Amino acid sequence: METTHSIIFEDARKISALDDQSIDLVVTSPPYPMIEMWDEQFSELNPETGVQLEKGNYTGAFATMHAILDETWSELYRVMKEGAFACINIGDAVRTVNNRFKLFANHSRIQTRLCELGFDPMPLIIWRKQTNAPNKFMGSGMLPAGAYVTLEHEYILIFRKGSRRQFSTVEEKHNRMLSSFFWEERNCWFSDLWDFKGTRQEMNNRQLRGRSAAFPFILPFRLINMYSVFGDTILDPFLGTGTSAMAAMASGRNSIGYEIDSGFSEPTKKRIFENQHLLNNYNLERINSHLDFVRNYSSEKGVLKYTNSYFGFPVMTRQEKELKLTFVKAVEKKVDNCFRVSYFADQYIQSIDPGQLDLEKLV
C-alpha cells in the first residue's frame, strides 16, 4: 500500500489544480479574521482590508477578510465529492475598537456562508483550550460590570456536501469496514466537546507553531479517521506547517495541501521528514488505549463479545471486527513538493503481538 501527498504553493482562492468532485474530505484551519497576527496577510490579499483597519473601521475589515475566505469556501464546494465532509477549525476574535471591546464571531460568519453555498451544517465540536495563564481574565478584574468572559475555546465546524456518501461496491463496503474505529473512540471522538489537555505534542515544533498557529496533530488525525476511509484524498487549502498532510500519512489517506506562503516550503518538508518516525505514535497509542479499555471492561463488566480479525484482540461491536490500522514504513520524495508514503505489510504487523507493538519495531 502507498499514499501520495502534494503541497501546492499557491493561493487557495482558486484551486485550479483540482477537478470538480475530486476530494473526499476537507480538514483545515484558515487564518483567523481580526486576530492581529493575520492582519498583514489579509491586507496583502485585499488592500481594502488594510484601508479599513487603518481607518479603524473594524466592521469593514471583518467583512473584507471574510470575503477573501469566501472565495476558498466556494472552491471547496466545487472540488468536493457528493457526500464529502468539510471540517473547519476556527476561533472567534476579540479586539478593542475605539475604546470599545468587541467580539468578532468568525465561526458564525463562516457557518452562514457555507450554508448559503449549499452545504448542510452538521453538529459542531467545541474545542476547549483551557489556559492557566494568570493574565487570561480580561477587563475590570473583580469589579462589576466590565470584566469579560475568557475565550478558551475554538470551533470545529462540520458540513456535508449533499446526501450521505454511498459505499456501493463490495470493495468499497469492505474498505469502509477496514477503516472503522473502536467503539470507545466513537464515544469520545463524537462528543461535541474536545479537550486536548495532556495530549502528546512531540510532533509540534514550538517555534513553527508560534509562527503558523498550527493545530495539534490529534485534531486532523481524529477528523480524518472519523470522516474518511483508507485511500481517500484529503484537502487542506490552508496547509501551513503540514499537520493535516502528516495526519493523512499516518492514517493511510492521500492528501493535497495549498499554502500561499512559500516561506513554509522548507520548514514544512523538514518537519515531515524529521518526524516520520513519529507518525506511528498515534496508532500505537490507539492500540494501547484499546487494550487498556479491554482490560478494564473485562474486569468490571465481563468479556467483550467480538474478536478483531486483524489484531486478534476483543472488540465491543461487530463493526470493529475488520478494523485495521496502517503503520508508516517510509516517507520519500516523489518529485518536488510531493511525497510517497509506504506502509508496513499486514503480515509483518500481524506477526507482532499487538501489546508488543512499539516504535522500536517500526523504524
Ligand X SMILES: C[S@@+](CC[C@H](N)C(=O)[O-])C[C@H]1O[C@@H](n2cnc3c(N)ncnc32)[C@H](O)[C@@H]1O
Q: Tell me if 203 contacts ligand X by CB under 6 A.
A: no
Q: Tell me if 214 contacts ligand X by CB under 6 A.
A: yes
In this structure, the number of other CB atoms found within 10 A of the CB of residue 334 comes to 13
Nearer to ligand X, 260 or 341 (CB): 260
Nearer to ligand X, 264 or 311 (CB): 264
Q: Tell me if 93 contacts ligand X by CB under 6 A.
A: no
Question: Pick from 202, 179, 209: which is nearest to 326 by CA?
Answer: 179
In this structure, the number of other CB atoms found within 10 A of the CB of residue 362 comes to 19
Q: Which of 258, 327, 339, 343 binds ligand X (CB under 6 A)?
A: 258
Task: Name the minimum Å distance from CB 249 to ligand X.
Answer: 14
Question: At 47, which helix (H) or strand (E)?
Answer: helix 47-55
From the list 17-25, 175-183, 221-229, 256-264, the region that binds ligand X by CB under 6 A is 256-264
Q: Tell me if 240 contacts ligand X by CB under 6 A.
A: yes
Task: Name the minimum Å distance from CB 89 to ligand X.
Answer: 7
Q: Tell me if 70 contacts ligand X by CB under 6 A.
A: no
In this structure, the number of other CB atoms found within 10 A of the CB of residue 213 comes to 18
Q: Which of 3, 225, 241, 280 binds ligand X (CB under 6 A)?
A: 241
Q: Which residues of 96-111 are buried (b: 16+ CB within 10 A; e: fewer)?
A: eeeeeeeebbbbebbb
Q: Tell me if 221 contacts ligand X by CB under 6 A.
A: no
From the list 7-15, 124-132, 166-174, 332-340, the region that binds ligand X by CB under 6 A is 7-15
Q: Tell me if 157 contacts ligand X by CB under 6 A.
A: no
Nearer to ligand X, 84 or 88 (CB): 88
Question: Pick from 349, 343, 354, 225: which is nearest to 285 by CA?
Answer: 354
Q: Tell me if 260 contacts ligand X by CB under 6 A.
A: yes
Q: Tell me if 282 contacts ligand X by CB under 6 A.
A: no
Distance CA 81, CA 18 (A): 12
Q: Tell me if 12 contacts ligand X by CB under 6 A.
A: yes
Question: Pick from 85, 81, 88, 41: which is nearest to 61 by CA?
Answer: 41
Q: How many residues bind ligand X (CB under 6 A)?
A: 20
Q: Tell me if 13 contacts ligand X by CB under 6 A.
A: yes
Distance CA 6, CA 235 (A): 10
Distance CA 48, CA 60 (A): 9
Check if the beta carbon of residue 217 is closer than 8 Å to that of residue 246.
yes
Task: Report the 3 state secondary structure along 192-261.
Answer: CEEECCCCCCCCCCHHHHHHHCCCCCHHHHHHHHHHCCCCCEEEECCCCCCHHHHHHHHCCCEEEEECCC
From the list 148-156, 254-262, 275-283, 321-329, the region that binds ligand X by CB under 6 A is 254-262
- Please calculate the CA angle 72-74-78 and round it to the nearest 5 degrees: 110
Nearer to ligand X, 214 or 248 (CB): 214
Q: Tell me if 92 contacts ligand X by CB under 6 A.
A: no
Q: Which of 212, 275, 308, 326 binds ligand X (CB under 6 A)?
A: 212
- CA-based torsion, 215, 191, 247, 261: positive or negative: negative
Q: Tell me if 48 contacts ligand X by CB under 6 A.
A: no
Contact track, ligand X, 17-46, x by CB under 6 A: ------------xxx---------x-----
Check if the beta carbon of residue 2 is closer than 8 Å to that of residue 75.
no
Question: At 27, which helix (H) or strand (E)?
Answer: strand 23-28
Q: Tell me if 218 contacts ligand X by CB under 6 A.
A: no
Distance CA 125, CA 194 (A): 7
From the list 91-99, 236-244, 322-330, 350-358, the region that binds ligand X by CB under 6 A is 236-244
Q: Which of 184, 185, 232, 259 binds ligand X (CB under 6 A)?
A: 259
- Which positions touch ligand X (CB under 6 A)? 11-13, 29-31, 41, 212-215, 237-238, 240-241, 243, 258-261
